[in-house]
């Protein structure tokens, strides 16, 4: 008897969670699907976003993401390589770098927003702009990306390193041609995590990339990203809910598309590396 | 690996510099938080500190954080209270009840839920949950709505970390319990869950850190009235929401007070992650929950 009650409670809890998830997703998909069209994607917002489209917002979203990735990817890979290949294994500084990364990863996103506002927009004088938003996001996704890549590199079998050494490869070229391709799944996972966090982020961008919903003309222009658009439509614009759901669906589709793109491009890039090597 | 050429050494130096730049970034973040909040912190005295309650009237120079700190704690505790039993039940379902295919699908769904952007959960809460609560107990946007939305957000973290903690319970314990002829529910409740306690506790602490730092979802459904709530249906404003709402126009000491609350929040989150690390490192195993 007790066992049957226990089993049904467990299954009911699982069903509850699945139900809640489907409730959220079905709402977003059904309400969003009713609102999106080609015109919605490719026209300017009108009437504070109630009607019209989200073209400038999509452009701003992609720019901010591109800036964040262009800064965070090379830097993150370099630090990950240093941590797993070059850093002195038992030295304090290596450990400190890891602790620093964990601390950075734990900072709430709104605090990154405060920092970005104080440092990038005011101190460096970039103003409310795509550039300061992208740089703030780069700081935010960097620690998670480094940690994922580093753990992937660490898992590469030492035989590969010895083999490269035996072939007389220099260390940089061993890293480039052998270790990075071998750690591809982890690097990809880090990339997907970073893209997901950066695209979904709202709080860190409110005071760095700003609210302006015009088409950004340069990187120093302020631009409103999709998540900020959703927030603004639902909180500050009465009657903006439909457009907000449309934007929410676009955001979800965008994240899925970007992940697929990351998967494909990482695959082809690493394949080229392996063939050359 | 101890051989070194000149080329290697050059690369080593460049990469070391880059890694050092991360430490500089951390120092920068801390310095800027401190620098910006200094006008507020320097005036802070113990007698009229943030835990006394002069009220939150920033334009009159009265910065009482107490209601918002209280609201943050209430929202976080409430969501943990809901998400912990639900998440544990889901972890048990994943580990002991679901067939491999169902377990894979369920894990995928939990990861999907973890990946829903918080602003979308906030939007859903605002347009779905809040109207439902309004019909029952106006005004709707309330502590309860914030707790429910936040529960959805942190539940996958708790479920997935607890599942991997359960999976790493030593095989001897499982086999011993089964050999004693204990029923499945007895085994789970009295053997498996207690054995997995450190891992579960670490997951809960990480979820707490995430909940207390979450901004958008709470901001959108909590109603944002600065007050100490007297019931679940009162609107509240949490610390993070306060920063998001007022940073746009805050100047001078008001701005400094917002940075000070950011500093406070960061310290709390670090404290929680540190405890989680200490608690979890006793049974730390490599696991995947991304």
> Is the pLDDT score of B171 beyond 60?
yes
**C-beta contacts of B278-287 below 8 A and 24+ residues apart:** B279/B198, B279/B201, B279/B202, B279/B205, B280/B198, B280/B199, B280/B201, B280/B202, B280/B203, B282/B198, B283/B165, B283/B168, B283/B196, B283/B198, B283/B199, B285/B164, B285/B168, B287/B161, B287/B164, B287/B167, B287/B168
Q: What is the mean pLDDT of residues B240-249?
A: 90
> Is the pLDDT score of B285 beyond 60?
no
DSSP A107: S
Classify each residue of B268-288 as buried b or exposed e, where b means 16 or more C-beta atoms within 10 Å of its C-beta: bbeebbbebeebbeebeeeee
Among B22, B159, B247, select the one facing A97 at the smallest CB separation. B22
Q: What is the pLDDT of residue B137?
A: 81
Q: What's the gap in Å between the CA of B78 and the closest CA on chain A? A: 17
- Asked if B62 and B56 count as a contact pair (C-beta separation under 8 A), the reply is yes
- How far, in Å, CA of B206 to CA of B114, rounded? 14
Six token digits for residue A71 = 């800064």
User: Which residues between 95 and 154 in chain B have a beta carbon less than 8 angstroms from any beta carbon of chain A?
Assistant: 97-98, 106, 109-110, 112-113, 115-124, 126-128, 152
> Is the pLDDT score of A23 beyond 90?
yes
Q: What is the mean pLDDT of residues A32-50?
A: 86
- How far, in Å, CA of B277 to CA of A6, rounded? 32
- Over residues A149-186, the pLDDT tens digits come to 998 898 888 898 899 989 988 888 888 888 888 888 88
Among B35, B97, B216, select the one facing A202 at the smallest CB separation. B216
Q: What is the mean pLDDT of residues B249-267?
A: 89
Q: In terms of C-beta density within 10 A (0-12 exposed, 13-18 middle, 19 or more buried), how is residue A201 classed?
A: buried
Q: Does B280 touch chain A (CB under 8 A)?
A: no
> Is the pLDDT score of B4 beyond 70?
no
Q: What is the mean pLDDT of residues A231-250?
A: 90
> Is the pLDDT score of B288 beyond 50?
no
pLDDT confidence band for A28 (50 / 70 / 90): very high
Q: What is the pLDDT of residue A275?
A: 64
Q: Which of A17, A120, A192 to mutate to test the interface with B (most CBs of B within 10 A)?
A: A17
Q: In terms of C-beta density within 10 A (0-12 exposed, 13-18 middle, 19 or more buried), how is residue B248 classed?
A: exposed
Pairing of strands B56-57, B62-63: antiparallel
- A84-93, A154-163, A202-211, A217-226: least confidently modelled range: A84-93
Look at A67 and B63; give whichever has higher pLDDT.
A67
Q: Do A82 and B86 touch (CB under 8 A)?
A: no
- Asked if A147 and A101 count as a contact pair (C-beta separation under 8 A), the reply is yes
- B58-62, B165-169, B237-241: least confidently modelled range: B58-62
DSSP A204: T
Q: What is the mean pLDDT of residues A29-56?
A: 87
Residue numbers in B near A169 (CB within 8 A): none
> Is the pLDDT score of B3 beyond 80?
no
Q: Do B33 and A115 touch (CB under 8 A)?
A: yes
Backbone angles phi and psi of A185, in degrees to 5: -60, -40
- How far, in Å, CA of A209 to CA of A127, rounded? 8
Q: What is the pLDDT of residue A44?
A: 86
Q: Do B15 and A119 touch (CB under 8 A)?
A: no
Q: What is the pLDDT of residue A274?
A: 65
Q: Do A170 and B8 touch (CB under 8 A)?
A: yes
Q: What is the pLDDT of residue B284?
A: 46
- Over residues A266-277, the pLDDT tens digits come to 777 777 766 655
Share of chain A above pLDDT 70, in %: 98
pTM here? Answer: 0.88
pLDDT confidence band for B289 (50 / 70 / 90): very low
Q: What is the mean pLDDT of residues A134-138?
A: 94
Q: What is the pLDDT of residue B58?
A: 79
Q: What is the pLDDT of residue A117?
A: 92
Mean of pLDDT over chain B = 86
CB count within 10 Å of CB A177 equals 16
Which residues, at least 6 apart from B159, have a Cβ–Cβ distance to it below 8 Å? A17, B86, B87, B88, B90, B91, B94, B110
- Over residues B97-145, the pLDDT tens digits come to 999 999 999 999 998 898 899 999 999 999 999 999 999 887 888 999 9
């Amino acid at each position: 008897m007790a066992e049957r009650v226990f089993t049904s409670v467990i299954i009911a809890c699982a069903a509850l969670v699945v139900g809640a998830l489907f409730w959220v997703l079905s709402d977003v998909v059904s309400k969003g699907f009713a609102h999106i069209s080609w015109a919605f994607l490719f026209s300017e917002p009108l009437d504070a976003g109630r009607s019209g489209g989200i073209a400038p917002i999509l452009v701003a979203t992609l720019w901010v993401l591109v800036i964040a990735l262009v800064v965070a990817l090379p830097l993150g890979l370099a630090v990950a390589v240093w941590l797993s290949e070059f850093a002195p294994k038992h030295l304090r500084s290596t450990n400190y770098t890891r602790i620093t990364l964990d601390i950075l990863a734990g900072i709430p996103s709104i605090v990154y927003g405060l920092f970005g506002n104080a440092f990038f927009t005011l101190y460096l004088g970039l103003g409310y702009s795509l550039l300061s938003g992208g740089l703030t996001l780069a700081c935010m996704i960097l620690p998670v990306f480094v940690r994922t890549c580093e753990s992937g590199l660490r898992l590469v079998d030492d035989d590969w390193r010895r083999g490269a050494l035996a072939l007389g490869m220099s260390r940089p070229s061993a890293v480039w041609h052998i270790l990075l391709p071998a750690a591809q799944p982890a690097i990809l996972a880090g990339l997907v995590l970073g893209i997901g966090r950066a695209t979904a982020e709202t709080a860190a961008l409110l005071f760095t990339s700003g609210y302006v919903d015009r088409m950004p003309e340069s990187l120093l222009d302020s631009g409103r990203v999709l998540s900020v658009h959703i927030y603004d439509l639902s909180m500050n614009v009465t009657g903006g809910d439909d457009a907000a759901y449309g934007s929410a669906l676009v955001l979800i589709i965008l994240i899925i598309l970007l992940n697929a793109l990351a998967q494909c491009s990482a695959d082809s890039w690493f394949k080229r590396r392996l063939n050359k090597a | 690996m101890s051989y070194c050429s000149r080329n290697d050494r050059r690369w080593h130096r460049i990469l070391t510099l880059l890694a050092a730049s991360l430490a500089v970034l951390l120092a920068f973040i801390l310095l800027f938080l401190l620098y910006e909040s200094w006008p507020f912190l320097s005036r802070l005295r113990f007698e009229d500190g943030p835990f006394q309650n002069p009220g939150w009237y920033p334009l009159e120079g009265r910065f009482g954080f107490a209601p918002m700190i209280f609201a943050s704690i209430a929202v976080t505790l409430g969501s943990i209270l809901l998400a912990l039993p639900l998440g544990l039940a889901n972890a048990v379902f994943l580990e002991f009840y679901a067939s491999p295919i169902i377990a894979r699908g369920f894990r995928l769904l939990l990861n999907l839920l973890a990946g829903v952007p918080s602003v979308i959960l906030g939007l859903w809460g605002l347009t779905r949950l809040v109207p439902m609560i309004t019909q029952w107990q106006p005004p709707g946007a309330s502590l309860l709505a914030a707790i429910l939305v936040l529960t959805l957000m942190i539940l996958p973290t708790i479920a997935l970390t607890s599942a991997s903690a359960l999976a790493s319970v030593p095989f001897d314990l499982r086999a011993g319990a089964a050999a004693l002829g204990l029923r499945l529910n007895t085994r789970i409740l009295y053997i498996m869950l207690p054995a997995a306690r450190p891992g579960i506790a670490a997951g809960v602490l990480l979820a707490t850190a995430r909940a207390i730092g979450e901004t958008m979802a709470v901001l959108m459904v909590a109603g944002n009235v600065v007050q100490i709530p007297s019931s679940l249906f009162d609107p509240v404003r949490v610390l993070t929401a306060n920063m998001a709402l007022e940073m746009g126009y805050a100047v001078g000491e008001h701005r400094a007070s917002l940075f000070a609350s950011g500093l406070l929040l960061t310290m709390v989150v670090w404290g929680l992650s540190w405890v989680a690390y200490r608690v979890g490192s006793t049974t730390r195993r490599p696991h995947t929950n991304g």
